[in-house]
Amino acid sequence: MKGATAEKDASMQKQKEMIANHFSELARVKETRKKVVYTFVPGNLTELINHFGMLPVLPEINALQSGMRGKSAEYISIAEKAGHSEDVCTYVKADIGMLRAGNIGPTGEPLPKPDLLLLSYTGCFTFLKWFELLREEYDCPVVMLHVPYQGDGEITQEMREYVSNQIRDVVIPEFERVSGVRYDHDRMKEQLKLSVRAEDDLVWVLNSARARPSPIDAWFGGVYYIGPMFTSFRGTQDAVDYYTMLREEVQDRLDQKLGPVTPDGPMREEKYRLVIEGPPNWTSFREFWRMFADEGAVIVASSYTKVGGLYDRGFRHNPDDPLGTMADYCMGCYTNLNFPQRTALLEGYINDFSADGFLINSVKSCNSFSAGQLLILRELEKRTGRPGGFIESDLVDPRYFSAANIKNRLESYFQMIEARRKGATS
């Protein structure tokens, strides 16, 4: 019988401790008098928030943590009884429901009210409405950082100046007002140097999946790897130390030719190498992971692990141009790419990581990911000759996770890959 809890390697335990310590620090703000900024993961200004001695809270992380802890169904029900539609993003409903149920965070400690809401639009219209709701609940100021969508597939100089000017003229003055701390250009440059060191090691880890067998799973395992980078720690020594540790750990697995850690220990045999589009399901995360691990399927690259930055395609924060590089970062996240860019990115992953196929997990309540996915799937099949697959679930609503349906689709998909292999060798 399989264990009830997923096995974790040392880096997974380390990042869990980092996140827990952050939530504990949030619970003590009445004592420490630190200010709290609610913001979102894609294109977040973590270094800038930390620069002013403030603490970030990310509502998506609260929602997915609620899903993994089995709390999201209750919170979604609370939000729906308050009038929120079944079609609303379940992250939003889980967050609103958690707020109305006492706003208890994943460590069991209450989350503080925000001193400021920092809304940065990066390809998801839901963010706009989400923060309107939070503004009504908390009655606190909102700073809007408007980030242009890459509709034409490029970041122009005008777009870059538009965002960096907002950071300089709107965001930083408001941060100074709320925190009582002055912006220090030289200190900001030093923070961004730490960001680059951590970004380099994260990219090395993600690229290690090119090896056979891959020492990592870049989707299920990847959500642990990106946690410190995409949430509260980018630009800190803690992040540098974590990614140094992670890189050494992955190097050790490479040296021993070991596959990734799974919920039931190291993977015994790599049978299928997949690229995946879309977020994972959080309410049945371990069960979902086991469906792949039991089949010997390893995710060698994923789009979800790029929602907080396309570091593996060359982006690094530039310490010599803090405001400009923050603008580039905000505009370069995966959800801010147009469909041709997303398709080309995924095509590159399929080829670069020698994937056997491409799979979509279509999330019912997430339009930012789900819109256009079938078109992307058919285009990738045409370009790469590799088979595409399609499964459906949700972020944090357990009503839309059907284990039997997903398992049947995955088994059929792996059979299709095997048939292609036999056809190629006959």
| DSSP secondary structure letters along 122-151 | SS-THHHHHHHHHHHHH---EEEE-----T
The pLDDT of 147-166, averaged and rounded, is 95
| pLDDT score for 4 | 44
Same domain, 240 and 324: yes
- Give the N- to C-terminal CA distance of the chain in Å, as an integer: 39
d(CA 374, CA 371): 8
Domain end (from 144, 164, 184)? 184
Flag whether 199 is in a domain.
yes
Same domain? For 167 and 208 the reply is no
Output the domain CATH number for residue 264: 3.40.50.11900
Looking at the fold, whether 126 and 216 belong to one and the same domain comes out as: no
Q: Are strands 272-277 and 297-302 parallel, antiparallel or unpaired?
A: parallel
Q: Which of 184, 219, 240 is the last residue of a domain?
A: 184
DSSP letter assigned to residue 360 = E
Q: Give me the pLDDT at residue 1, please.
A: 38
3-state secondary structure (DSSP) of residue 285 = helix
Torsions phi, psi for 293 (to 5 deg)? -60, -40
User: How high does pLDDT run on average in the chain?
Assistant: 93
Looking at this protein, which amino acid is placed at residue 409? R
Instruction: Please name the residue ranges forming H helices in 69-184.
Output: 72-81, 90-100, 126-138, 157-166, 172-179
* Contact residues for 137 (Cβ-Cβ < 8 A; gap 6+): 96, 99
Element (H, E) at 55: strand 55-57
Instruction: Identify whether 4 is part of a domain.
Output: no
Task: Based on the fold, state whether residues 408 and 261 are members of the same structural domain.
Answer: yes
234 and 133 in a common domain:
no
The answer to whether residues 273 and 397 belong to one domain is yes
Flag the least confident range among 123-137, 186-200, 205-219, 282-296. Answer: 123-137
366 and 220 share one domain: yes
Strand partners, 120: 145
Same-domain status, 307 and 372: yes
Residue 2 has pLDDT above 60, yes or no: no
Tell me: do 294 and 380 sit in the same domain.
yes
- The pLDDT of 309-321, averaged and rounded, is 95
Cα separation, 147 vs 149, whole angstroms: 6
CA pair distance 279, 271, nearest whole angstrom: 23
d(CA 292, CA 299): 9
For 266, the enclosing helix (H) or strand (E) is strand 265-266
How does DSSP classify residue 304? G
pLDDT (0 to 100) of residue 3: 43
What is the pLDDT confidence band of residue 13, given thresholds at 50, 70 and 90?
Answer: confident
Give the number of C-alpha atoms closer than 13 A to the C-alpha of residue 286, restricted to the C-beta side: 13
Domain stops at, among 167, 184, 201 = 184
* Average pLDDT of the segment spanning 77-82: 95
Arithmetic mean of pLDDT, 307-322: 95
pLDDT of residue 394: 93
Asked if pLDDT for residue 414 goes beyond 50, the answer is: yes
pLDDT number for residue 48: 97
**Confidence bin at 7 (pLDDT 50/70/90):** low
Q: Give residue 129's pLDDT.
A: 86
Amino acid at 305: T
Sign for the pseudo-dihedral over CA of 97, 102, 103, 107 = negative
Mean pLDDT calculated for residue range 384-407: 95
Domain tally, the chain: 2
pLDDT tens readout for residues 219-256: 999 999 999 999 899 999 999 999 999 999 999 999 99
Instruction: Say whether both 337 and 297 belong to one domain.
Output: yes
pLDDT at residue 8 in the model:
64
Section 353-378 average pLDDT: 90
For residues 107 and 303, which has the higher predicted lDDT (pLDDT)? 303
The residue count of the chain comes to 426
What does the pLDDT read at residue 14?
A: 87
Q: Which domain holds residue 211?
A: 188-425
Higher pLDDT, 260 or 422: 260
Pairing assessment for the beta strands 261-262 and 265-266 based on DSSP bridges: antiparallel
Please state, for a pLDDT cut of 70, what percent of the chain lies above it: 98
pLDDT score of 426: 56
Residues 246 and 319 in one domain: yes
Out of 11-25, 84-98, 116-130, 269-283, least confident range:
116-130
Q: How confident is the model over 107-117, as pLDDT tens digits?
A: 888 999 999 99
C-alpha to C-alpha distance for 99 and 73, rounded to whole angstroms:
14
Whether the predicted pLDDT of 5 surpasses 70: no
Share of the chain above pLDDT 90, in %: 80
Q: Give the CA radius of gyration of the chain.
A: 21
Per-residue pLDDT, 331: 94
**Confidence at residue 87, expressed as pLDDT on a 0 to 100 scale:** 83
Strand partners, 144: 119
**Residue written as token pair 């370069």:** 332
Same domain, 133 and 201: no
CA angle, residues 42, 45, 48, in degrees to nearest 5:
170
